[in-house]
Amino acid sequence: MRLFAALLILILSGCGIAVSDKPMLTAVDTAGAPQFADGVWLMPGFDEEVDCAVDTAKPVSSWPYCATWALHKDGQWFAREGNSGIVTKPVPREAVVVSNGDIAIVQLESEPGEDGTVDPTPYTFIAFDNKPAATAPLRTLGFWIVMCGKYEPVEAAAEGEPDKLVRFPGFDEKCRPESVQVLRDAAAASRPAADFPLPQFGWARAALD
């Protein structure tokens, strides 16, 4: 699941992220959640040293290897099978769950490692603006990581001393939220400033080839 692995790598590249050892979103939270347009979705590369220009008018089979994409069809995500080609496999529906609300939360569940190890907190979260609520399937979104707090300078800190993570209310020492409302509040508090360019995840073409 290369696309979702890329999302998780982005999330896990920093500390202070909101995590959970259990799914947080229920049917009440997902009722009326935004839907995604069917087709191929593309995420831009995060490595500035790699030129991964993609001509979306061309079939996906001709896209560069570095392109990170997924297929959405009839409410189901499909990820690339392996590291090349256009053969896909379905992503378990419970692995990507989207909430309703002015800020929609995407709950991502990580897979066990290749050695069979299981993350004790496999659930992580990203968020995107959903106001006004979409009446048609989404075709693009700018997202950010849901954090469990903010880093603030330590008063009278020694040179080189790192900033201190000040957790938002309702998070424990492992950055687990005690409720969905705590998670929603954290999503709002984590949103970058309006002038910050959010990573974009967008519809690229109707079919693979």
User: What was the pLDDT predicted at 112?
Assistant: 79
Instruction: Pick the range with the lowest mean pLDDT from 2-6, 57-61, 84-88, 153-157.
Output: 2-6
Instruction: Pick the range with the lowest mean pLDDT from 8-22, 58-72, 166-180.
Output: 8-22
pLDDT surpasses 60 at 31: yes
- In the structure encoding, which two tokens stand for residue 202, read together? 């967008």
> Please, which pLDDT band fits residue 117 given cuts at 50, 70 and 90?
confident
Average confidence (pLDDT) over 171-196: 96
Of 1-5, 44-48, 61-65, 125-129, which one has max mean pLDDT? 125-129
pTM of the model: 0.88
pLDDT surpasses 80 at 92: yes
Q: Which of 62, 57, 91 shows the shortest CA–CA distance to 74?
A: 91
User: What was the pLDDT predicted at 113?
Assistant: 74
Displacement of CA 201 from its chain's centroid (Å): 9
Average per-residue pLDDT for the chain: 89
> How many domains does one find in the chain?
1
CA distance 138 to 122: 26
User: What was the pLDDT predicted at 207?
Assistant: 95
On whether the CB atoms of residues 92 and 78 are closer than 8 A, the answer is no
Range of the domain at 172: 2-205
Average confidence (pLDDT) over 6-20: 69
User: What was the pLDDT predicted at 1?
Assistant: 45
